[in-house]
Each structure stands twice: as C-alpha cells, then as structure tokens.
Amino acid sequence: MKIKHLLYTIAIVFCSYTATAQTKVGTVNINILVSKLPEIANVKTGMEAYEKELQADLKAKLDAYGKEVEEANKAFATMTPENKKKKQKEIYDLEADIQKFRQNAVQLVQLRQDELMRPLYKKVGDAVAQVAQTEKFTQVFTLDGNELAYVDPSFDITLKTAAKLGLKIETKK
C-alpha cells in the first residue's frame, strides 16, 4: 500500500514538473520603462507646444467672440428686430463653436499624446520581446494593466482553430 502511495506521489510530482517546464511566465512594468526613456523629454516638449498652439487658437476665438459681442451691443439700439435676431444667432453660433472647440481640444490633446508615445511603447515592446525570447519566457504580462506584453508565437492557436472551423487566414511573415 505504501509503495502504491509513493508511486502516485512521484507520478504527480513528475507530471506537475513537466507541466510547469513547458511555460515560463514573466511580468514587466512598461510604463516605468517608458517614463525612463530619454525620448520622453521630446514627448513632453511636443505636448507643451501643441497645448500652446491650441491655447492660441482658443484665445483667437475668444477675442473674436468678445469683439463681436462688443460691436453687437453698440449696434443693438439702432438695429431692426430682424437684424438683432441675426446678430444674436451669430453670437450664439460663436459660443457654440467655442464650446465645441474646448470639447474637441481634450480629445485632440489625447490623440497627439498617443501619437507621440506610440514609438516609445513600440521600442519598449520590442525590447520586452527580445528579453522574453532570450530568457525563454512564453508569456509576459504587464504589471499595470494585466495585458499580455509578449507571447511566444508557438503558443498561438489561432491558425489551428481557424483550420478546425474551416477558415483560411493569411499570416504575416
């Protein structure tokens, strides 16, 4: 009975050892690496310049709006009701344009930041892939997002699954 128990234990240990030997998982904090790249200074400079550009555009719109309101206030006394309505509509349209510009500016800043940061994330991603291949990691997860930063292509079952489903997928090489 004890020999049987010992054999089961050895079999379980052996199976668990071989199962863990097949994969090697690591983690990486990509944001820390990106923040330490020397190119991050160029991104900050580029963002500051873009924000100044947007601020200048907003100031020009606000100045035009202020001038339009000032001129309208002076002319309202002598305007016909129809012309007053037209002028008020013009002023409301300028207000709406300013509001829309402010809303879009937030999105534009985010898009510009993504555009400037993309090469940095690619650089770090390529380095992660090289280290993972050298160290024989099968998967590397990011610490800050629990996303895959690298996966060994030999573990990708997309093509096998496509074949099982009868689908043809072209691979990039």
pLDDT tens readout for residues 7-43: 455 656 555 554 445 788 888 888 889 899 999 999 9
pLDDT of residue 167 exceeding 90, the answer is no
61 pLDDT band, cuts 50/70/90, is very high
Q: What 8-state DSSP symbol labels residue 153?
A: G
* 144 or 12, higher pLDDT: 144
Place of tokens 């998967």: 139
pLDDT of residue 72 exceeding 50, the answer is yes
* 154 or 68, higher pLDDT: 68
Write down the mean pLDDT value for the chain. Answer: 84
**Alpha-carbon gap, residue 108 to 105, rounded angstroms:** 5
Q: What is the mean pLDDT of residues 41-60?
A: 95
132 pLDDT band, cuts 50/70/90, is confident
One-letter amino acid of 96: A
pLDDT of residue 5 exceeding 80, the answer is no
* 28 or 76, higher pLDDT: 28
Q: Helix (H, G, I), strand (E, B), or coil: what is residue 29?
A: coil
- Summarised one tens digit per residue, pLDDT across range 79-102 is 888 988 998 899 999 999 999 999
**From its phi and psi, is residue 137 left (phi > 0), alpha (psi between -120 and 50) or beta?**
beta
Q: Would the pTM of this model clear 0.75, i.e. be above it? A: no
pLDDT of residue 166 exceeding 50, the answer is yes
Please give the pLDDT value at position 80: 87
Burial 78-115 (b: 16+ CB within 10 A, else e): eeeeeeeeebeeebeebeeeeeeeeeebeeeeeebeee
